[in-house]
Structure 1
Amino acid sequence: MRRYQEVIEKHLSTGNMAVLNMLNTKYFIQPSKNGPIAMQNPEALGNAWFINDIKLVENADEEIAALNGFNPKLTAIVDKRFEGSVKNFVTSNDSSGFIKLDVYKPNKLVYTSSSSTDRVAVFSEIYYNKGWKVTIDGKPAEHFRANYILRAMVVPEGNHKIEFVFDPEMWYIGRNIDLASSLLILLIFAGWVGMSIYKKELLH
C-alpha cells in the first residue's frame, strides 16, 4: 500500500483529475449552502477500459511523475521492467472494442471483452501480484502494473472471459518461502556470531 499512499500524497491531494478518473472516482463531495452534496464525475473511466498507446518509462520515479499531464483514457504508463509484457503491442484506436465488469467479489473479478485487434486493458484495481491469478477463457495469463498502481494486461482479439482470482494458497506459499529464507539468513548469521565468539574464547 506504500505506492497508493505516494499517489495520495503526490496526486490525489493536489486534485489530479487524471488519477481520480483512472481510479474510477464516481462522485465528489462538494460544499453547498445546504451542506455537503455528492456531485457525479462524468469523466470516471469505469472498472476497466482499453487504451490506445503505451508510454514506457525507465523506473518507478518516472512512472509516478508521468501521472501529471497524461490522459489515462488513451495512454498507459508502464515501467520498462514490464516491457516484455507489451513488446508485441501495436497502437490501436478500435472504438468498437469494449471490456466490462460482470462479477465483483473480494477474491474474484470477472470481465468480458470484445475487440477486433489485440488490446491492452487497464483495470481500476490496485496492482498486487502476490496471490492473484488471472485467466483468459480459463487459460493462465499474465498481468502487469500500469500507471504506477493499477493492473493491466494484453487481451487478444475476439470475445473473451477474463477472471482475476485471489488464491490464498499461492500467497501463503510465497509468504512461507520468504519467511523460511529470512529464518535461514538469521540462522547463518547466528552461527557466524557463535563461531566468532567461540574462536575468541579459544584465543584467550
Structure 2
Amino acid sequence: MGGSVLIAVLALDSVMLSSHYFKADNIARIKKGNDIVRFIKENQGNERTFFMDQSGIYNQWLASDGPFHGLNLFNIWQMPRMPSEYKEFLGTVGRNQIRVWELSAVKYVAAPQTVLQQFKNNPALGEQFTPVLNYQIPTAKGMRPEVLLEFKNAVPRFALYSNWQVVPLENQCSLLVSESHNPQTTVLVDSGAGLPEAKLNGSRFQALKAEVSKKAAVVELETDKPSILRFAQRFQPGWRVEVDGKPAELLRVDYLCMGVAVPEGKHTVEFRCVSGASEMVFSSGVFILSFVGGVVCIVIRKRIGTE
C-alpha cells in the first residue's frame, strides 16, 4: 500500500513539474499557420530562411510550425555535439554573418525592423536586402515590428560554376571569409580532388533547379565549358553522385558543401544518399537542426517562468 502511494505521489509530482518545461501545441493552429509561415512555404523553393531571433514566437516556429510546413530553416537550434568542421566554419567564416548566408542558400532573413535600418545605413549592404513582408511579434516589452527580408546575394542551393579555385581544405575557411574572394563567381575545390585549375573568366554562377526527395536530388543542366555543379548540402562520404547514369567523384567544395565536375554539354546529375549519412531533409541546412514533431500534438520546450 505504501509503495502504491509513493508511486502515485511521484507521478503527480512529475506531471506538475513537467508543466513548467513543456506545453502541447494545438495541431489545428499549427496546420493553419500564419501569413509569415505561408509566405515562406510558398516562395522558398529549395532555398533557406534564417531567423535572427530564436526566442519567443520564433522558437515555436523552429520547433513546430517550421517542421510541420516543411520550411527550409537555417538556424542552429539544438546541437549537443557540433562536428569539428562546423566549429571551424562558424569560428572563421562566422565572423561575417552575411557571407555565411551567401554561402548557405539563405533566401529570406526574418529580423527586427531596426536591423533593416542598420543595413540601409550601409548602402553596399542595404542594396542586398529587399523587404517583402512587414509584421509584428509579441515580446516581453510589447509588440515589436519585424520584417522578412529577401537576400539577393545568396548562392542558390544548386549552382553551376565555370570558375573554380583549387585550395587545400585547411585553407578554405580563411579564403571564404576574405573580401578578396567572390562566391558569386568562384567555388573552392579541395586540392585532394586532383582537378586542374580553371581559367578564371569572372562569369557569375548559373542558378539551377532540381527535383528533390528525401534521399536524392536530380539536376538537368547544359554548359558550354567544363564546370562544377555546387550543391549546398553538407559533404558526407555516404552520398554518391552520378553524371548521366555513371558514377562520378563526389567533390568537397567551399569547405562544407558537395559538388561534382561536369564536362561541356547536356547532362543529368543525381546526388543520392546511400548509407552512413544523414538523409536530405530540406528543412535542415548546412547545419543540423533538431526538432520535436508529432501527429496529434507537438511538444515544445518552454523556458522556466515564461508562458
TM-score normalised according to structure 2 size: 0.48
Aligned counterpart, 1:161: 268
Confirm or deny that 1:4 pairs with 2:86.
yes
Q: Give, in angstroms, the shift of residue 138 of structure 1.
A: 0.9
Q: Which runs of 5+ in 1 are unaligned?
A: 173-204
State the Cα deviation string for residues 90-111 of structure 1 (Å, max 9, x = none): 545677x946232122211111
Structure possessing the higher relative contact order (Cα contacts under 8 Å, 6 or more residues apart): 2
Residues 139/92 of structure 1: CA separation in 2 closer, same or farther (3 Å cut): farther
Aligned counterparts of 1:56 and 1:27: Cα–Cα separation in 2: 30
Confirm or deny that 1:139 pairs with 2:250.
no
CA contact (8 A) 2:108 2:150 kept: yes
Q: Give, in angstroms, the shift of residue 4 of structure 1.
A: 2.2
State the Cα deviation string for residues 171-202 of structure 1 (Å, max 9, x = none): 39xxxxxxxxxxxxxxxxxxxxxxxxxxxxxx
Instruction: Give the root-mean-square deviation of aligned CA atoms.
Output: 2.5
The letter of the residue matching 1:3 is E
Confirm or deny that 1:19 pairs with 2:100.
yes
Provide the secondary structure at the position in 2 that maps to 1:154.
Answer: strand
Aligned counterparts of 2:200 and 2:228: Cα–Cα separation in 1: 9
Residues 22/119 of structure 1: CA separation in 2 closer, same or farther (3 Å cut): same
The letter of the residue matching 2:175 is A
TM-score normalised according to structure 1 size: 0.70
Alignment length, in residue pairs? 164
1:42-81 → structure 2 map (5 Å cutoff)? 42-60=152-170, 62-68=171-177, 69=179, 70-81=181-192
Residues 108/59 of structure 1: CA separation in 2 closer, same or farther (3 Å cut): closer
Aligned counterparts of 1:30 and 1:111: Cα–Cα separation in 2: 33
CA contact (8 A) 2:243 2:269 kept: yes
Confirm or deny that 1:149 pairs with 2:230.
no
Aligned counterparts of 2:152 and 2:169: Cα–Cα separation in 1: 32
CA contact (8 A) 1:101 1:109 kept: no
Aligned counterpart, 2:228: 120
Q: Which runs of 5+ in 2 are unaligned?
A: 1-82, 115-135, 137-143, 278-307
Q: Identity rate of aligned residues, in percent? A: 21
Aligned counterparts of 1:156 and 1:44: Cα–Cα separation in 2: 25
Aligned counterparts of 2:201 and 2:268: Cα–Cα separation in 1: 21
